[in-house]
Amino acid sequence: MSKLRVVHYINNFFAGVGGEEKADIPPQARDGVVGPGLALSKALGEEAEIVGTIICGDSYFGENTKSAKEEMLKLIEMYNPDIFVAGPAFNAGRYGFACGEMATFIEEELQIPVVSAMYKENPGVDMFKRDMHIIETEISAADMRNAVPKMAKLVLKLAKGEEVGSPAEEGYHERGIRVNYFHEKRGSERGVGLLVKKMNGEECVTEYPMPVFDRVDPLPAVADITKVKVAIVTSGGIVPQGNPDRIESSSATKYGIYDISGMNDLSADDFMTVHGGYDRAFVTENPNLVVPLDVMREMEQEGVIGELANYFVTTTGTGTSVGNAKGFGEHFARKLVEDGVGAVILTST
């Protein structure tokens, strides 16, 4: 088997080009190993070889992030890599940002495994740990000999499609990803055990710390609804018959926007629900129960509201992750605002 091809990303300082005075150097590629690449190469062993090193000044990257990424992508592609390693960046903030940006960008563009390494207080950790593996290091380069073997081991596992262990086992920063495993005891037994400990005042560790939600403060009440364009947004899964955009019955990964211009109500011949979280029987007969077009049209005609938007926005709420829901909202809210919508009626099920 031929060796896995590795491209290594480092900054001006670790490349030996110079310190702050050289932080503005533009991207450059060098064949083979440079600086910490030597240790990395040893740690990778026989299975992989560093074919190229990409160097960029931290200031240059910070000031020209978008173009620097594109430039370096071209350089990296020439090496046809199987693996991309960035850093370690230790506690260098700008370097950590560059490592995280480059690694996540290369993973997305080239679909190859990536890894970096940083100190816990490096801002790059919080920015990128969810999207990639970042090995935990000490504060300075003195920890190089510890960090590099962990990076090598992890990236080889990723490259070979082997199962990656827990953060503690592999030494990476906790990514905030919930992963299943089989415990030796069933949940109820663990629950009773925890309760006994808690009642005895002993330490008991929760299996899931409470999440933090991104609460949005409501805007002030609409001053004069008779002048405002209103749109209907629903998580009740109403879609045109046949579900043209294939919105899922649960755990939705997409939403749809469907035209209602010229309609006085939602006909059961034209609309259906794909929602998997409630009894559809009544809504199947009458989709207006979830997208109340019939009543909204009356209100529009009576002048209770200024105008009804000529479409509704829809997805399935059941099981849909907060991450997806937030993404949908941020996306379609822009359209609503562009279209002059001043108020939204959200219907849930």
Partner 1 sequence: MRLELGKIKITDVQPGEVTKVENGTLFVNKQELIDLAMKDDRIKGVKVEFARPGESVRIAPVKDVIEPRVKVSGTGAMFPGMINKVKTVGSGRTHALVGANVITCGKIVGFQEGIIDMSGPTAKYTPFSETFNVCIVIEPVDNLETHDYEQAARLAGLKIGALVGEAGRNVEPDEVVVYETKPIAEQTAQYPNLPKVGYIHMLQSQGLLHDTFYYGVDAKQMVPTFMYPTEIMDGAITSGNCVAPCDKVTTFHHLNNPVIEDLYKRHGKDLNFIGVILTNENVFLADKERSSDMVGKFVEFLGLDGVIITEEGYGNPDTDLMMNCKKSTEAGAKVVLITDEFPGRDGKSQSLADAVPEADTLVSCGNGNVIVEFPPMDKVIGTLDYVETMIGGYEGSLRKDGSIEAEIQIIIASTIANGYNTLSAKMY
Name the site residues for partner 1 (rule: CB under 8 A): 130, 164, 166-167, 174-192, 194-196, 198-199, 204, 206-213, 246, 248-251, 253, 274-281, 317-324
Minimum CB–partner distance for residue 283 and partner 1 (Å): 10
Q: Which is nearer to partner 1, 66 or 178 (CB)?
A: 178
Q: Which is nearer to partner 1, 192 or 304 (CB)?
A: 192
Q: Which residue in this structure is represented by tokens 């080889």?
A: 156
Q: 33: which residues sit within 8 A by CB, 6+ positions away?
A: 8, 40, 41, 50, 53
Length of the chain equals 349
Minimum CB–partner distance for residue 167 and partner 1 (Å): 6
Q: Which is nearer to partner 1, 2 or 182 (CB)?
A: 182
- Residue 258 and residue 240: Cα distance in Å, rounded? 8
Q: Which is nearer to partner 1, 2 or 180 (CB)?
A: 180
Say if CB 137 and CB 147 are below 8 A apart.
yes
Q: How many CB atoms neighbour CB 122 within 10 A?
A: 29
Minimum CB–partner distance for residue 77 and partner 1 (Å): 27
Q: 290: which residues sit within 8 A by CB, 6+ positions away?
A: 234, 236, 237, 238, 273, 283, 347, 349
Q: Which is nearer to partner 1, 279 or 338 (CB)?
A: 279
Minimum CB–partner distance for residue 115 and partner 1 (Å): 15
Q: Which is nearer to partner 1, 1 or 199 (CB)?
A: 199
- Residue 349 and residue 335: Cα distance in Å, rounded? 24
Say if CB 215 and CB 222 are below 8 A apart.
no
Minimum CB–partner distance for residue 144 and partner 1 (Å): 25
Minimum CB–partner distance for residue 10 and partner 1 (Å): 27
